[in-house]
Amino acid sequence: MPAVTEAKSLAVLPLSVLNEEENMFQASIRRFARERIGPHVRAMDEAGLFRRDLLHEMFELGLMGIEIPEEHGGQGGNFFQSVLAVEALAAVDPSAAVIVDVQNTIANNILLRWGNDEQKRRYLPKLARDTVAAFALSEAGSGSDAFALATRATRHGDHFLITGRKLWITNAAEAGIYFLFANANPDAGHRGITCFMVERNFPGFQVGKKEDKLGIRASSTCELILDDCRVPAENVLGEIGQGYKIAIQTLNEGRIAIGAQMTGLAQGALDHAIAYAKERRQFGKPIADFQAVQFELAEMATDVEASRLLVYNGARMRDAGLPFVTEAAMAKYFASQVAENVASRAVEIFGGVGFTKDYPVEKLYRDAKIGRIYEGTSNMQKMTIAKQILGT
């Protein structure tokens, strides 16, 4: 009992203070984000397209395979490091952050946990080296009710034929592998849902319309169209009917990373607001000298730090093997609120110029909105938290 108690207290300690290795890791990503991604953020946002050369650099730096074991070409890191990477990137460009987020905390994780040895041998090196992945669950009639899936998979000997449409799929335009959910036994309801690894070049598969979005515009969001898409039976992830469990467990982890994305976004907005408040002069002095502005910045900084503590706590609990569902929901729910609020207040501190595209806070404000929607809306997070604390 004492050993268990000691381990738990260590894991749940919500430290925002990082150890030396973690500090160096995050600092290197911040530098990359500022120097390489930063100069292109506005252009990518306007074009709605993430630069291929930057994507290649993220692979070269190992940012797309943080938790993939070294024997498969990855970095052999942990979940917490993935969270640190997402947070650091989001302070400069949340679009870059969500690309790295989905690759690491969703795609790589799902394969590491549920894939067999042959599937790992075949796909993990690709995901670490040069292949973007996507998580394809949502459909037109399946949003918060994630398992009201209409996409069907029918067995034909050594393969399945999958027919249906997926919507709002992140990374879809760039991806080469899709972790796609379809019902292989509709009579069993959600217990027929199965996860398939679908390659982009499989017959009957195509990427459809790309969405024209409010925010995170450089991150692609597309529909997927499957018309008797032929998928080898060996590409079933886990077992037939395990898709429900696979999706739930994967999304629980992914929500911590969305919290990290929103925390990084909020930190970026706060940093811009502080710098501008020191430079902007009114009535003969910097606006940072006015108590009203100081109080705004103080509240913003406090909210960002509280958000960071929730996110880090959830990530450390996950790495320690402790239950973290409540903490993940809290982190995503709170961080998404903080991001929207802090970005909005940053725009106000900038005043009129903050409402223009000439300054970065306008984009961060637009980018923040999605945090309360994807990977489980704020209402769904509150439902999860309530059920956990009530024991229902």
Question: Was domain 135-243 assigned CATH 3.50.50.60?
Answer: no
Active-site residues, by number, are 375
Fold of the CATH domain 2-132:
Butyryl-Coa Dehydrogenase, subunit A; domain 1 (1.10.540)
Question: Was domain 251-390 assigned CATH 3.40.720.10?
Answer: no
What token pair was written down for 278? 């020191």
Helix (H), strand (E) counts: the chain: 13, 10
Cα–Cα distance measured from residue 280 to residue 275, given in angstroms and rounded to the nearest whole number = 9
Residue 70: is it exposed, middle or buried by C-beta count within 10 angstroms (0-12/13-18/19+)?
exposed
Q: Could you report how far apart the first and last alpha carbons of the chain are, in Å?
A: 27
pLDDT in tens, the chain (392 residues): 333 333 333 334 444 668 889 999 999 999 999 999 999 999 999 999 999 999 999 999 999 999 999 999 999 999 999 999 999 999 999 999 999 999 999 999 999 999 999 999 999 999 999 999 999 999 998 877 867 899 999 999 999 999 999 999 999 999 999 999 999 999 999 999 999 999 999 999 999 999 999 999 999 999 999 999 999 999 999 999 999 999 999 999 999 999 999 999 999 999 999 999 999 999 999 999 999 999 999 999 999 999 999 999 999 999 999 999 999 999 999 999 999 999 999 999 999 999 999 999 999 999 999 999 999 999 999 999 999 999 98
- DSSP symbols for 84-132: HHHHHHHTT-HHHHHHHHIIIIIIIHHHHHH--HHHHHHHHHHHHHT-E
**pTM across the whole model:** 0.94
- DSSP symbols for 161-211: EEEEEEEEEETTTTEEEEEEEEES-GGGGGGGEEEEEEETTSTTEEEEEEP
Backbone angles phi, psi at 221, to 5 degrees: -135, 115
Helix, strand, or coil (residue 80): helix
Cα–Cα distance measured from residue 259 to residue 376, given in angstroms and rounded to the nearest whole number = 12
Residue boundaries of the structural domains of the chain: 2-132, 135-243, 251-390
Cα–Cα distance measured from residue 107 to residue 100, given in angstroms and rounded to the nearest whole number = 10
